[in-house]
Amino acid sequence: MGYTNLRTNLESKFADWLGERQTIEKDIEDIEAAYAKLDEKRERLEKVELLLESAKVIMGEIAPGWNPKSVRPSRKFVSKLPFDSGEVTRMAFDVMREESREMRTVEIARLVVQRKGLDPKERDLVARVKTAIDASLRAKQGKFVDCTEGYGRKWFILPAGASKASSL
């Protein structure tokens, strides 16, 4: 009996060590790949610093009151919404349920932004939230929501169990 337990436990440990080895090898590979890019990243950082200084000089010339500290950093290919994943959709549905009327996407977006405690007069933010809400509503159209036809479409929540698919 002891021999079987020893063998089973040793095989289990062996499997753990194999997995650990794979993880370590992958980590080493990732670190080496990152290290290979280090010089390239340092060169790009120097160029970006030069571009920032140049932009400050130009903006100082064309807009003397401009303050570079008033500009928030922005990253490409990253969600720029100050919401958690799925939060915009949940809040949009909450707003639509509470309002219980047909609403344009921009109205929903303004109320969502306001509910989050942000400034609904910030046009760029409202536009990004509007785009996210519009995409979400289109994906759920006919299942949970529907909209009026034509220009200036307005969205509304379908009654429970009344999806378009079930009425066809």
pLDDT classification of 162: cutoffs 50, 70, 90: low
Cα–Cα distance for residue pair 131/152, rounded to 1 Å: 15
CB contact at 8 A, 105 and 137: yes
Please enumerate in sequence order all residues whose Cβ is within 8 A of that of 81, keeping only pairs 6 or more positions apart, or say none.
88, 125, 128, 129, 132
Mean pLDDT (whole number) for 46-59: 96
Closest listed residue to residue 89, CA positions, set 31, 49, 33, 129: 129
Cα–Cα distance for residue pair 103/119, rounded to 1 Å: 20
**So what's the pLDDT on residue 96?**
95
Q: pLDDT tens digits, residue range 78-130?
A: 677 888 888 999 999 999 999 999 999 999 999 999 999 999 998 988 999 99
Is this prediction's pTM over 0.75? Answer: no
**So what's the pLDDT on residue 168?**
42
